[in-house]
Amino acid sequence: MQQLLIAGRYRLLDLVGTGGMGRVWLARDEMLHRDVAVKEVVPPSWLAEAEREELRLRTLREARTAARLNHPNVVRIYDVVHDRESPWIVMEYVQSRSVQQIISAEGPLSPQRTARIGLAVLAALRAAHTAGVLHRDVKPHNVLVADDGRVVLTDFGLATFDGGEGAMTGPGTVLGSPQFVAPERAREGVSDPRTDLWSLGATLYATVEGQSPYARSSAMATLSALATEPPDPMRRAGPLGPVLTGLLQRDPWRRLTAAEAEPLLRHAAAEHDRPAAPPRSSAVAALRSAGRARAPAPVRAAGQPDHPPTSPARPTTRPRRRRRLIAIGGAATALLVAGGITVALVDRHNERTPPSGSGGGASSARPAAFACATPPPPPPASTPVASVAPPAEARYRLRDGWTWHDDPTGFRIAAPVGWARWTEGSVTCFRETGGARVLSVESGPVRADPVAHWKAEEARLTTGDGLLPGYRKVDISAMDIFEGGAVWECGWENAAGDQVHSFRLLANTSAERSYTVSWLTKEFDWQVNAAYLPMIRQSFTPAL
């Protein structure tokens, strides 16, 4: 069965999941030579034959409807085929764990991390609802956190097209998980965008509390409690309490709308993390190591490789050579779900004298905390990045609009074609023409304690009349990469009054030097811009 060929094109390789509505396979698209996920729709045995046939037909129609969605937080649908009397849905393959798997393995998540997941799922639902698609089965099992940090909503198997043939089920028939079904849907079998929002609330409740708001010993007991009782008391939700209470209103008309829920989730996500267990941001999760033995599989998106590069073995000597940052290892999914910014720290021989320029991309008299903040100098001091042929040893293609850059200082990285390139001391800067996005790499001395280095930088830039007004820390933590490293992710308000978001990765190498790869964008655009991080980190090849 593992080598079964579906529709003469998709070769089934491995069973990766099962559920009440079917099975999901890892498969190989023999035509395009890429891995895909193929869902085999298997109607429940208790459905009458007429209902089973209706489900098959609706699956094909509704999957085609869902395929209209093009959003970084929605698993993309590539194809729908009919083979061996069953419909098969061909989707993007995202190497990931579901939220259910995460909380089963690690326990309830922090309110801050839960809120960030909630923002991603809410964005997916808003895109779906705008397109007229209802999900109808939002639950922790269907929210995936990719190895690279991207959060995606999957399994639109129960989705309906608003304005189409109507709901498949009628009163008394409930498809989906009872613990995550809105009261009105359980009672009347009807769905609209508000039922998806109730399910989102129940999903986030389970994520932060460790169980659903109506966890009972049986489906019947759950449905009974859903009809007559309030949600179970919250004990861990903290700043998530208001949004969970608003989403879990029994009366759909009293329930929070998506527009009302979003600022509450953003507020909860911005709360200071608990020192004992700080939640990882999507960017940190994308680069977090899970062991050196195996490199993470990147999210496969348009223009990205069929196979990720493998990590070379650690050298026993120290010749000057290249090594990809992907050697971090570990499970990394969005995130790094398109168009990001990176900034590197200036090499400070005298850290008491910060460089001139403006932080975050706007000119100002206020000195800059980091390099590459001011607009690029005119030619010939800056030059546009030109498209070049990929190096012979490149194992994958870059996204459209990106090319390979071999820096004279000895590293290689993917860079956007047409962006201005210049240097500021030991920093190589790439900046979007007419925009604020910046990609940069800094070479500097080895840092004996990378975490302490970032904490010292944080203190220097935020105390007194610090250079990072409105500073908000997301994470400072160690990372097991190369000869040791650490990440610093934070946000602040730049001189133009814009909220910006930055991710910095410092990595020591065996060549007695460190590299800082940095990423900066406006806070409003961070989630979508983080999509380019996997390609950047996989392409970055320092000289060792």
How high is the pLDDT of residue 84? 78
Give me the DSSP letters along 187-228.
HH----HHHHHHHHHHHHHHHHHSS-TT--SSHHHHHHHHHH
Domain count, the chain: 3
How high is the pLDDT of residue 298? 33
Across the chain, which distance is largest between two alpha carbons, in Å?
A: 77
Do 409 and 452 share a domain, yes or no? yes
Across the beta sheet with 438-444, the strand order is 383-384, 420-424, 427-431, 438-444, 514-522, 499-508, 485-493, 472-479
- Does 465 qualify as catalytic in the annotation? no
Give me the DSSP letters along 154-196.
---TT-EETTSS--S--TT---S-GGGS-HHHHHH----HHHH
Question: Is 535 part of any domain?
Answer: no
Q: What is the CATH number of the domain that holds 434?
A: 3.40.1000.10
Q: What whole-number distance in Å separates Cα of residue 222 and Cα of residue 215?
A: 6
In the chain, the amino acid numbered 10 is Y
- What value does the CA radius of gyration of the chain take, rounded to a whole number of Å? 24
Query: Could you say which of 29, 79, 137, 148 is catalytic?
Result: 137
349 membership: H or E segment, kind and range: none
Which residues does the chain have with pLDDT short of 50? 1-2, 159, 161-175, 273-282, 285-367
pTM above 0.85, yes or no: no
How high is the pLDDT of residue 161? 46
Question: Is 298 part of any domain?
Answer: no
Residues 216 and 233: beta-carbon distance below 8 Å: no
How high is the pLDDT of residue 109? 95
Environment class of 400 (CB within 10 Å of its CB; exposed 0-12, middle 13-18, buried 19+)? exposed
How high is the pLDDT of residue 286? 42
Q: What is the CATH number of the domain that holds 156?
A: 1.10.510.10
Q: What is the DSSP letter of 325?
A: G
How high is the pLDDT of residue 115? 96
How high is the pLDDT of residue 340? 31
Q: Which domain holds residue 421?
A: 340-529
Do 178 and 263 share a domain, yes or no? yes
Residues 502 and 285: beta-carbon distance below 8 Å: no
Do 83 and 109 share a domain, yes or no? no
How high is the pLDDT of residue 126? 92
